[in-house]
Chains A and B, each alone.
Chain A
């Protein structure tokens, strides 16, 4: 077989394969639910209900989507320039760490200046964290996939060390947990009484900003050019290495905002289970959104919905929550294939 480009794909060609991919994901999830001895229709229904079935469920989904929008944007920005940042997890913890270090008493400012300052410091921390692999790539040609992956492990151990050492909450009954941040360092709720904090709004603004950067600015143009064809970009005079470093700074900063928002908006302190892999899930979010920053918002809601829905489904139907992870991994693999098939047809010979 070989692939032949389709010059002007019609509407069926452009929508058919992605729809089939989603359909197949649902079918596979149903089969797995049956393997677990559950009725697939009730399992899918429970997931939907758990994700969007009540005000509580919807707010929970929005809360869960917030860090995913940030990490999804971080990945989307980096992958667009073909800079493979798989280290959003470490950068997220970097942002959270800075929030805790400066938010628990080192800075004492009113909330209106404290919060922007903490966010800024978190962005700087995340940016610097990703700058190291970026420099290794640009200077030594070391593949950033492996370095960012390994950095995740190193940085989590570093956090663990701090939480059992200098950052340990003396009131924490021995748990590896930081002290709580000051009230001035807490993101308020958007609507009083509803469990949704301003981190979500910040995520939407970030998505809009990234979209503007990518479509309207020279930096976005450079990042896209570098991603599509490094050689041609360099020939045309685009400073490829500088663009990669700038991409890394932006990507790392965005991922760190997830950590800031989780600590400041939701948890109030830093623990080792602050993120159940939001950094990695950001890759799925970004890919399902085809790396489009506005699409990231929608796909983050979808992914968060599946996680939240699967949690409540698991309690009700006794099917392991890992079903959600399987669904997302399947959706990711089938979707990249489907996107290819919107532009190419498979022919014999």
Chain B
């Protein structure tokens, strides 16, 4: 291993509470020069909180962070940066309307410096980009870049500042398998030139591939620390899950029934940088889960909007139960038995300042049983909310609680209940488990499988290839709005799907 012996970073007994929740419980770890540590844990284990403390975005309740032996002042990102700690957040922190160069040089010079030396900055960016194989143009507007390119900009930001420690928060979540390999190559090269890396992930095979050492967090505690060469995936998995291993639901095979919804040659216009659909044909069959794989921002949103009633096909036809619908709005979609689980449960799925009752009837307040002639029937609404809370095990103080106070998992259960109680024919599940802890993930998956088994057609959209391959009976890949042919369960390996995700294999690809 190329790890040196000198410690560049030391975390000492970091503790952080949010209200009653202990997000980090006396966590200590140290990172050596040229070393890659993987920080492994399920959603909610405390990885991101720990890194935000290290990077000075949160202040720890107790404990300290030292870089090269110097203790950092708490809650001061500037000090962390100046000490040489850089962070690539899971949600990129880039300004879309500004150029790559502007994004990279933001905050590098003292604010009151008289001017920007743009020529020198540009040269340095081009040099770094070439040396680390991070192809991106300094003048490009960030808003016009793909997700993979944006990540390169984020990494360039850190390299430009000569960082000693780089924190990467779930960097592969948005990449194709090939892009992940490229990223790893870049990182290995950077490590060879002296950079140290903390790599946050919950994907075991990636951790095994890139890290020298693995640190495992569970429920805010550090539960294991082991050199990669002394462990394997199953040992790590056991550490991550703890004794009470949550079991993923069994997936049985079913015979698909008739097509409930079909898209025939559907195209939609591009919206800004988001590609529209290009001549997409697919059919959602009863008793089948159709998985849509792809890097985010490749037309998934447009497809979800067409299926969910927010958008009419620009050209081509949408066929619902053998006939094109005469009107197509979200309300029509709900009335025609389409259950819609939106991508962002906080922003589009729920209204945070509404209580559970008000959120429960959001799609169906119009008409019986929740209103008649414009008058709401709050009693019926309340009964409905109570029913969901009970049946779907939504943990909350009561139906009159504002939904913002619920955890992501419980919020998602309310949405599930809201749409599944109508016994829908078709289920549109857009990133249904993003950000959920393992228990909630399994719950959502088992509900989708149960719906399939009773004859519903499920469209599962996800960036997580593992989720797609495990649940889907048939898989399509979407890239720049184009749809691949359908592949039966197990027909293609993740690497093969990755090639499609990168845009190769399509008939019109050059």
**Co-assembled chains A and B:** yes
Residues in A lying within 8 Å of B, measured CB to CB: 5, 7, 216-219, 221, 224-225, 228-229, 231-237, 239, 348-349
Q: Give the residues from 382 to 404 in chain B that come closer than 8 angstroms, CB to CB, to chain A.
A: 404
Interface bin, chain B:
20 to 34
B310 and A349: CB pair below 8 A? Answer: no
Q: Give the residues from 355 to 405 in chain B that come closer than 8 angstroms, CB to CB, to chain A.
A: 358, 362-363, 365-366, 371, 374-376, 404-405
A228 and B352: CB pair below 8 A? Answer: yes
9 cross-chain pairs, A with B, having the tightest CB-CB distances, nearest first: A349-B59, A237-B330, A237-B331, A349-B75, A236-B362, A235-B348, A229-B351, A236-B363, A228-B351
12 pairs of residues in contact across A and B, judged by CB atoms under 8 Å: A216-B375, A218-B375, A218-B376, A228-B351, A228-B354, A229-B347, A232-B349, A233-B362, A235-B310, A235-B340, A237-B309, A348-B75
Interfacial chain B residues near A235, Cβ < 8 Å: 308, 310, 330, 340, 342, 348-349
Closest-by-CB residue of A relative to B418 is A236
Pick from A229, A237, A349: contact of B74, CB under 8 Å: A349
Interfacial chain A residues near B334, Cβ < 8 Å: 237
Interfacial chain A residues near B340, Cβ < 8 Å: 235
- In the complex, what distance in Å separates the CA atom of A219 from the CA atom of B374? 7
- In the complex, what distance in Å separates the CA atom of A231 from the CA atom of B74? 37
- In the complex, what distance in Å separates the CA atom of A7 from the CA atom of B405? 7
Interfacial chain A residues near B365, Cβ < 8 Å: 218, 221
- In the complex, what distance in Å separates the CA atom of A157 from the CA atom of B351? 42
- In the complex, what distance in Å separates the CA atom of A219 from the CA atom of B334? 19
Interfacial chain B residues near A5, Cβ < 8 Å: 404
B75 and A218: CB pair below 8 A? Answer: no
- In the complex, what distance in Å separates the CA atom of A7 from the CA atom of B334? 33
Interfacial chain B residues near A239, Cβ < 8 Å: 329
- In the complex, what distance in Å separates the CA atom of A235 from the CA atom of B307? 12
With A7-B19, A218-B374 in contact, is A228–B353 under 8 Å at CB? yes
Beyond known contacts A218-B365, A225-B354, A349-B74: 5 more, CB 8 A cutoff? A218-B366, A224-B354, A228-B353, A237-B331, A349-B75
- In the complex, what distance in Å separates the CA atom of A132 from the CA atom of B310? 27
Interfacial chain A residues near B376, Cβ < 8 Å: 216-218, 221
Residues in B lying within 8 Å of A, measured CB to CB: 19, 58-59, 74-75, 308-310, 329-331, 333-334, 340, 342, 347-354, 358, 362-363, 365-366, 371, 374-376, 404-405
Q: Give the shortest distance, in Å, between A216 (CB) and chain B (any CB).
A: 6
- In the complex, what distance in Å separates the CA atom of A15 from the CA atom of B177? 56
Interfacial chain B residues near A228, Cβ < 8 Å: 351-354
Q: Which interface residue of A219, A229, A239, A348 has the most chain B CB atoms within 10 A?
A: A229
B75 and A237: CB pair below 8 A? Answer: no
B362 and A232: CB pair below 8 A? Answer: yes
- In the complex, what distance in Å separates the CA atom of A190 from the CA atom of B90? 66
- In the complex, what distance in Å separates the CA atom of A236 from the CA atom of B363? 5
- In the complex, what distance in Å separates the CA atom of A219 from the CA atom of B58? 42
- In the complex, what distance in Å separates the CA atom of A228 from the CA atom of B348? 11
Interfacial chain A residues near B19, Cβ < 8 Å: 7
Q: Give the shortest distance, in Å, between A287 (CB) and chain B (any CB).
A: 17
B354 and A231: CB pair below 8 A? Answer: no
Interfacial chain B residues near A221, Cβ < 8 Å: 358, 365, 376
- In the complex, what distance in Å separates the CA atom of A316 from the CA atom of B315? 76
Interfacial chain B residues near A231, Cβ < 8 Å: 347-348
- In the complex, what distance in Å separates the CA atom of A22 from the CA atom of B333? 50
Interfacial chain B residues near A234, Cβ < 8 Å: 310, 330
Closest-by-CB residue of A relative to B75 is A349
- In the complex, what distance in Å separates the CA atom of A221 from the CA atom of B376? 9
Closest-by-CB residue of A relative to B370 is A218
Q: Give the shortest distance, in Å, between A259 (CB) and chain B (any CB).
A: 28
Q: Give the shortest distance, in Å, between A3 (CB) and chain B (any CB).
A: 13
Interfacial chain B residues near A348, Cβ < 8 Å: 59, 75
Q: Give the shortest distance, in Å, between A213 (CB) and chain B (any CB).
A: 9
Interfacial chain A residues near B354, Cβ < 8 Å: 224-225, 228
- In the complex, what distance in Å separates the CA atom of A55 from the CA atom of B58? 59
Q: Give the shortest distance, in Å, between A344 (CB) and chain B (any CB).
A: 12
Closest-by-CB residue of A relative to B349 is A232
- In the complex, what distance in Å separates the CA atom of A239 from the CA atom of B329? 9
Interfacial chain A residues near B347, Cβ < 8 Å: 229, 231-232
With A218-B376, A237-B329 in contact, is A232–B58 under 8 Å at CB? no
Q: Which interface residue of B330, B333, B334, B404 has the most chain A CB atoms within 10 A?
A: B330
A229 and B352: CB pair below 8 A? Answer: yes
